[in-house]
Amino acid sequence: MSDDWELKICCMGAGYVGGPTMAVIAKRCPKIRVCVVDISQKQIDAWKTDDLPIYEPGLLEVVQECRGRNLFFSTDIATEIEAADIIFISVNTPTKTQGIGAGRAANIKNCELCARTIADVATTGKIVVEKSTVPVRTAQAIARVLQSNEKGLKFQVLSNPEFLAEGTAIADLMNPDRVLIGGQQSEEGLAAAAKLVSVYAHWVPREQIITTNLWSSELSKLVANAFLAQRVSSINSISALCEATGADVLEISRAVGMDDRIGKRFLQPSIGFGGSCFQKDILNLVYLCETYGLNECAAYWNQVILMNDFQKKRFSEKIVASMFNTVTGKKIAMLGYAFKKDTGDVRETPSMFVLRDLVHEQANVHVYDPQVKREDMWIEMDYTCGMNKDNTPRLEESVVTAPDAYAACEKAHALLILTEWDEFKTYDYKKIYDSMMKPAFVFDGRNLLDHDALRAIGFEVHALGKPDPLKFSDL
Ligand code: UDX
Ligand code: UDX
């Protein structure tokens, strides 16, 4: 190993966050050695090929440029920890499924395990950076585990939450709105924070790198996600009101968003937000409020989740009600399964809840998504909505994964748009209409398609929060 490196970084956890983040650090800092380690051999092996374990636009190019130069992947965790000056902890922190706080509190077991491994194998002091989203004061737990080493080593713990969104991770990392670094306000803590600032300063303007105390940094991440999710739930609640009144949610979104105190972004109605962060972080915030006896604050944030559940349920109910109150035995084409476009990630995807409801109604669902792998659908379903092969015997037969959208739609009674993939806008909908059963329904859960054009072809279109011409003839 060459010792000419400006700095050596090790990242524990080669997932959606660790992988892309380290790839961009390696690209922007060619003199820093970056190694990503993981307990999963399969995960590490995949990072060494061109078939990366996660899909993210632009990621492969960055990995190809840096891999073998200053970006490495390994399962030799002990060696890499020992060699590093800075260690990022970027392992998953799933919501607890049992015990105290089950269903809401984040389980920081993996973070603690990483801290224990570091304390065990390190022979010199390190800067340990908490990258995973964690409850406030986790840094204290990590610090205590690290300090309890019997070698008299001194560690500094920093919090550096990730704000990247999937699908745009590389762009978000290359041009972040801000980089947040929290540290202890002691001399050593400030020095550690300054070192991490110097890494990001290779490409991020200094005024966009903010340093705070540890607890502000940890809490900021939860608050940012809660505020974003709240906007989506707010506009989704209005989409329901629009459908009842004949108002158009997109017109409202535009009118409201032009107030620059409110802003345009995150006002796009959907069948509900999904992804690994929003629900998990809000539940985490709710739990935190309750822990401190702040029941009103907990109830306030919990309502964001309840609104999201309502929006998902409302969509499935609308499908069944519109299709003459029965979808039993009917073929339904589901276009899109990922929680948003440009990712194959299905964690907390709202599509899963629609699929579950349709399977319970005994529909035959044909799913097409450009990036989602069939086997991933079952794992997440079992984990999140409790539906698996054992308790839903028809599950595997009721769900077909189609090779393309045309196959999914052939002889289908309805076509659902659940993810806003760009390619869905480019299809020949006349051809699709001709191949479908009549009446041919479209339920556009993302308001993605040109509804007037579809109606002209003959489809019966149901959109989100848009006036339904069958109901409002005065428009
Ligand atoms: C995770 C957290 O879920 C999120 O809260 C945080 O903001 C960032 O880290 P993500 O990167 O999406 O998100 O997780 P995932 O894609 O599941 O990757 C985690 C990786 O850590 C996996 O590859 C897993 O094998 C690895 N891991 C887990 C370890 O190497 N060691 C462990 O002890 C546990
Ligand atoms: C989010 C945060 O944006 C990011 O900063 C954080 O670090 C991780 O969590 P991500 O979950 O990847 O990122 O996706 P995001 O783009 O925020 O979308 C979350 C969900 O909200 C998706 O299901 C998306 O479809 C939905 N959404 C988003 C809407 O329904 N309407 C909108 O206007 C915006």
pLDDT per residue of the chain (475 residues) written in tens, 0 to 9: 457 999 999 999 999 999 999 999 999 999 999 999 999 999 999 999 999 999 999 999 999 999 999 999 999 999 999 999 999 999 998 888 888 888 888 888 999 999 999 999 999 999 999 998 887 788 999 999 999 988 899 999 999 999 999 999 999 999 999 999 999 999 999 999 999 999 999 999 999 999 999 999 999 999 999 999 999 999 999 999 999 999 999 999 999 999 999 999 999 999 999 998 999 999 999 999 999 999 999 999 999 999 999 999 999 999 999 999 999 999 999 999 999 999 999 999 999 999 999 999 999 999 999 999 998 888 888 878 888 878 887 788 889 999 999 999 999 999 999 999 999 999 999 999 999 999 999 999 999 999 999 999 999 999 999 998 888 876 6
Please name which ligand lies nearest the alpha carbon of 17: 1
Task: Please give the C-alpha separations between residue 404 and each of 292, 293, 336, 407, in angstroms, as whole numbers.
Answer: 50, 51, 11, 6
Same domain for 193 and 268, yes or no, is no
Dist. CA 311–CA 241, nearest whole Å: 12
Q: Is 375 annotated among the ligand-binding residues?
A: no
* Residue that terminates a domain, selected from 204, 234, 251: 204
Residue 275 counted as domain residue? yes
Q: Are strands 86-89 and 71-74 parallel, antiparallel or unpaired?
A: unpaired
What is the pairing mode between strands 331-335 and 32-37? unpaired
Task: Tell whether ligand 1 has an atom less than 6 A from the beta carbon of residue 90.
Answer: yes
Q: Are residues 58 and 155 in the same domain?
A: yes
Distance CA 296, CA 275 (A): 26
In whole angstroms, give the CA distance from residue 278 to residue 223. Answer: 10
Q: Answer yes or no: do 270 and 188 share one domain.
A: no
d(CA 183, CA 189): 6
Check: CB of residue 105 under 8 Å from CB of residue 117: no
Distance 229 CA to ligand 2 centre (A): 7
> What spacing in Å lies between the alpha carbon of 168 and ligand 2's midpoint?
10
Task: Give me the number of domains the chain comprises.
Answer: 2
Indicate if 196 and 289 belong to the same structural domain. Answer: no
Inside any domain, residue 210: no
Q: Are 359 and 399 in contact (CB under 8 A)?
A: yes
Q: Are residues 322 and 174 in the same domain?
A: no
Assigned domain for 468 exists: no
**CB of 38 shorter than 6 A to ligand 1:** yes
What sign does the dihedral 166-171-174-177 (CA atoms) show?
Answer: negative
- Cβ(138) to ligand 1 under 6 A? no
If we measure between CA atoms, which residue out of 67, 71, 14, 64 comes closest to residue 43?
Answer: 14
Domain span holding position 152:
7-204
The answer on 288 and 146 residing in a single domain is no
- Are 128 and 160 in contact by the 8 Å Cβ rule? The answer is no
* pLDDT, tens digit (0-9, with 9 covering 90-100), for 231-289: 999 999 999 999 999 999 999 999 999 999 999 999 999 999 999 899 999 999 999 99
Are 276 and 345 a contacting pair, CB within 8 Å? Answer: yes
In angstroms, what CA-CA distances link 202 with 34, 193, 241? Answer: 14, 15, 48
Report yes or no: 90 and 17 within 8 Å, Cβ to Cβ: yes
59/170 same-domain check: yes
pTM: 0.91
Examine residue 232 and state whether it is found in any structural domain, yes or no. Answer: no
Residues 297 and 442 in one domain: yes
Closest ligand 2 atom to Cα of 164: 7
CA of 211 to the centre of ligand 1 (A): 25
Provide the strand spans (E) within 191-348: 209-213, 331-335
162: Cβ below 6 Å to ligand 1?
A: yes
CATH number of 456's domain: 3.40.50.720
Same domain, 304 and 195: no
Helix (H) or strand (E) holding 443: strand 441-444
Q: Is-contact 279 305, C-beta < 8 A? A: yes
119 and 192 belong to one structural domain: yes
Q: Catalytic annotation on 385?
A: no
The verdict on residue 57 lying in a domain is yes
Any ligand 1 atom below 6 A from CB of 93: yes
